[in-house]
Chain A
Amino acid sequence: MTNSRPLLLDASVLVAYERELTRRAQAFVVTAITDGRILVASALSLAVAAAELADQHRELSWLVEDSEGPLQVLSLSSMNALDVGTLAARAGALDAATLELAQVVHEAAGIHAIVLTYEPKLYHGQSVDIMDMRPR
């Protein structure tokens, strides 16, 4: 049976989607869309990915240009910003990557999402289900 939990793509997957030449990330997104899976990304993941991609994020832009398009961006607002900041502070370092991790973990816990990542070590010790996207 298809799992209806949202699939939360972190910054590492968003960057791969834009850059990857082997088509792995693109094939995953296409297959997930065709299946009718719910694809989401945190606003901070999108920001971190954009920073890493500099000005080269045309395909990612297309995917998120419509707020109700195939990839839903989870906003940072009065509903969650204080919780995300508090969670990040517990990790010690207040940099963009830590803030992103905090929002991903916070959102995944709140909506029972599965986190897709190329950097599974980041999530060690976190109470979220992750899917390691690295080649087997």
Chain B
Amino acid sequence: MTSSAFAGLSDADRYVVGRLAAREHVPAEELAELPQNEIDQHIPGARVVYEHREQIAAELLQRRGIDPTSAEYRAAAVEARNVLDQIDQLGSGYAG
């Protein structure tokens, strides 16, 4: 029941497992039952990215000279959210 093991992980753990699985070219479910500290040892930077994701996003905006309060950006962000909502409706894609 590897798919249920994956579903039972925290958001942060799912992110780290997913990053390692992508790097290793395998579905995340295949790694979900490994001890989390072992996963972290294989890809130590992934949890850092997850925990600092808001700072990374802010740095990205700053680099691009984008004002997140501008009407143009806010419209683009609404569109981005709509795309992500559509992605969420595609389903997990896992055979489980």
Contact = CB atoms under 8 A, between A and B. Distances in A.
A17 B73 CA distance: 14
A116 to B, nearest CB: 8
B83 interface: yes
How many A residues are at the interface, by size bracket? 35 or more
Nearest to A129: B90
B58 to A, nearest CB: 9
B53 A27 contact: no
B93 interface: yes
Contacts, number: 135
Interface centre among A22, A29, A70 (most CB of B within 10 A): A70
Contacts of A114: 87, 90, 93
A68 B87 contact: no
Contacts of A69: 45, 49
Interface stretch (A4-12, A49-57, A85-93, A94-102): A4-12
Interface string A6-39: 1100000000000000111011111111111110
B83 A131 contact: yes
Interface of A: 1-7, 22-24, 26-38, 40, 59, 62-63, 66-70, 72, 74-75, 79-80, 107, 110-114, 129, 131, 133, 135-136
